Amino acid sequence: MKRIEVKLSLAVVAPLLDVIKAVSESLDDQLAAAVQLERIDVDLRKAWRDELVASQNGDVQSLLALFDSDFFASGVVNFDEDNADAILRACAAVRLRLKDHYLNDMADEALESGEVALEVLTVDQRRYFMCYLFLATVQELVIEHLEPSVS
């Protein structure tokens, strides 16, 4: 099984984990991306939506679980083939929420390129933006090293 270990700076990552936790709480009963379910029976729509929310939030909890006491002792986080898909989905969900609720003033091009004038951002916007970039980097690592279709 493929596995990658990434050594991260605790001083840099710890505040970003606080952002991810706060965003995950905002996702408790909501989907990060809107899904058009209007044409479906009301009961089926509720069941489907509830299942999607539960799956999304399980993925986010899987991401957060990687940053456990072992991580805080060593600074090392492990990604492997077993958690790759959940990590990709969790990063996407949190990034969507960050973009739509906290970074909505920024153009998509600026967010994706990382070319943002940090000095014009508020302290909170900087944290949200840095978290957005961190999660994008995690996604890139997982895709590059663990996705079978890329190998």
Segment 89-116, tens digit of pLDDT: 999 999 999 999 999 998 888 888 888 8
Q: Residues, the chain, total?
A: 151
Place of tokens 């906290």: 102
Asked if residue 51 belongs to a domain, the reply is yes
120 token code pair: 């014009």
Asked if residue 102 belongs to a domain, the reply is yes
- pLDDT band at 149; cut points 50, 70, 90: low
Segment 55-88, tens digit of pLDDT: 999 999 999 999 999 999 999 999 999 999 999 9
Above 70 in pLDDT, residue 140?
Answer: yes
Above 60 in pLDDT, residue 150?
Answer: no
Question: Looking at residue 151, what is its pLDDT?
Answer: 47
In whole angstroms, give the CA distance from residue 133 to residue 143: 15
Question: Looking at residue 148, what is its pLDDT?
Answer: 63
Asked if residue 66 belongs to a domain, the reply is yes
Asked if residue 48 belongs to a domain, the reply is yes
In whole angstroms, give the CA distance from residue 12 to residue 96: 21
Q: How many domains would you assign to the chain?
A: 1
Question: Looking at residue 23, what is its pLDDT?
Answer: 95
Average pLDDT, the chain: 91
**Domain span at 40:** 3-146
137 token code pair: 């980097």
Asked if residue 151 belongs to a domain, the reply is no
